[in-house]
Amino acid sequence: MVRIVGVDPGTKTFDAIVLEDGLVRSEQSFDTFSIAKEPQILIDGVDRLEPDYVVAPSGYGVPITFGDNIRDSRRFAAEVILLSTEDVIRVGAEAGEVGIWVYDAIVKTLSHLIDRYRERVVFLPAVIHLPTVPRYRKVNKVDMGTVDKLASAFLAVHEISERRGEDYGRVNIIVTELGYGYAASMAVERGAVVDGVGGSYASIGTLTAGALDLEVVVGAGVWSRWDVFYGGVFYGAKAFDMEAVARGYEAGEEPYVSMFNAFIEGVAKDIARMRISSPKADTVVLTGRHSRVDLIVKRLREVLRDVDITTLRGLKGASKAKEAAQGYTAIGDGVFGGYFKDLVKHMGIEGACGTSADYIIHPRAQEFAARIRRAYVESVYRPRLCRE
């Protein structure tokens, strides 16, 4: 029986899952801060699971790429997967930025996985790489849902199809991932993702400020790579616990009321945007850590009264791993020809191409887009670029 190990690099925890024939056989969770300080914890944890295949943390995504197709593992990890550079990561780490420590840990972990597992390790695409998303929806976008968010959508399509006893092609839903630091909403039409809004492009998150008025951008003038980790609900509330923010909201205390309302209304607006792209969507599927906060679910149901809102049970055998980790592993299982291969094919994941910066048309960002594309082409042997 083939043993697939998938690793989801969450903001709060890194989750590793062992999947065999569609069933979760083992789950492990590693504190992200601990991994940031000592990446060997994650490296040893994966190796101990004795995988036949590994689904590696894939960040901003890449067309399906196996380890033996990577010629420069550190550059591939830093520039293509994380949209950064080793120099920026070094500077951020020296400055004590925990988020950048995580980036450094990911680079070290991916280098190990590539060197050890070669053709048995795979990297996955994000929403922007999918051929099912029209090009016009990708213009000036980078994050339409990172790989972990796509993974949650994958799990949602599988479970909703199974729950209703319907073919994948009859699944029309909105999947909204409410992660610890970042949120995303994705439109699913006929079982395939056709649009998405995520991370620092979505409305305000708990860590990230989300989509910013460009006047804020030009007013600040100079930005660092790690500034995307700041300016969200937690910073406004001065509390880094969504349950605490919810309690303050219920007590009618500021700034909790304003911050909680900003989060709920922002998520609701992102969902509304996705319903334009999937007009037949009859259900919103909530996933992620904050989908377990009862008040968030309650308030979203009050705001979005004309659509059903549900959550997921998850894969058989799973008890604690987040939906993104389950989806990560399931996609990898399908890529390697396992239980989920038909859904991988249906969702167009095998047809993913290009880089996450290919669709930028703003003149100021052309150098950035060119750098990411060059890094991809030069760090793999056989790049899979999109046809113009």
Token pair 């309302």 in the structure block, residue: 261
Tokens of 188: 């699913």
pLDDT in tens, 251-269: 999 999 999 999 999 999 9
Between strands 283-287 and 53-55, the pairing is unpaired
Please tell me the total count of domains within the chain: 2
Residue 52 has pLDDT above 90, yes or no: yes
* In-domain check, residue 262: yes
Give the domain-ending residue among 300, 320, 340.
320
What are 99-122's pLDDT values in tens digits? Answer: 888 899 899 999 999 999 999 999
Domain end (from 277, 305, 320): 320
- Confidence category of residue 321, pLDDT binned at 50, 70, 90: confident
DSSP string across 325-346: HHHHHHHHHHHTTSTTHHHHHH
Domain boundary among 296, 320, 344: 320
pLDDT at 257: 98
Q: Is residue 117 situated within a structural domain?
A: yes
In a shared domain, residues 292 and 266: yes
Residues 295 and 148 in one domain: yes
Percent of the chain with pLDDT over 90: 84
Residue 285 sits in the same domain as residue 256: yes
The yes-or-no verdict on residue 339 having pLDDT over 90 is: yes
Yes or no: say if 179 and 11 are a contact pair by the CB < 8 Å rule.
yes
Domain match, 103 and 213 both: no
Residue 80 sits in the same domain as residue 165: no
Specify whether 109 is located in the same domain as 199.
no
Residue 49 included in any domain: yes
| Whether pLDDT at 146 is above 90 | yes
Is 42 part of any domain?
yes
Instruction: Return the CATH number at 233.
Output: 3.30.420.40
Residue 231 domain flag: yes
Q: Is there a cis peptide before residue 255, judged by omega within 30 degrees of 0?
A: yes
**Predicted confidence band at 388 (pLDDT cuts at 50, 70, 90)?**
low
Residues 102 and 203 in one domain: no
| Structural domain includes residue 120 | yes
Instruction: Compute CA distances 233 → 182, 199, 203, 263, 267, whole Å.
Output: 11, 13, 11, 7, 12
Asked if residue 136 and residue 122 are part of one domain, the reply reads no
In this prediction, residues 359-368 reach a mean pLDDT of 96
Q: Which domain holds residue 365?
A: 4-127+354-379
Residue 173 banded pLDDT, cuts 50, 70, 90: very high
Task: Output the pLDDT for position 36.
Answer: 85
pLDDT tens per residue across span 208-229: 999 999 999 899 999 988 898 9
**What pLDDT, on the 0 to 100 scale, is given for residue 201?**
92
* Structural domain includes residue 332: no
Q: Check residue 225 and give its pLDDT.
A: 86
CATH classification at residue 22: 3.30.420
167 and 216 belong to one structural domain: yes
Do 152 and 216 share a domain, yes or no? yes
294 & 364 share domain: no
Give the C-alpha distances (Å, rounded to integers) separating 321 from 10, 19, 68, 145, 315: 11, 12, 29, 19, 10
- Residue 174's alpha-carbon distances to 162, 167, 191, 216, in angstroms, are 17, 17, 11, 30
Same domain for 183 and 279? yes
For residue 251, being part of any structural domain is answered with yes
Average pLDDT over residues 357-378: 97
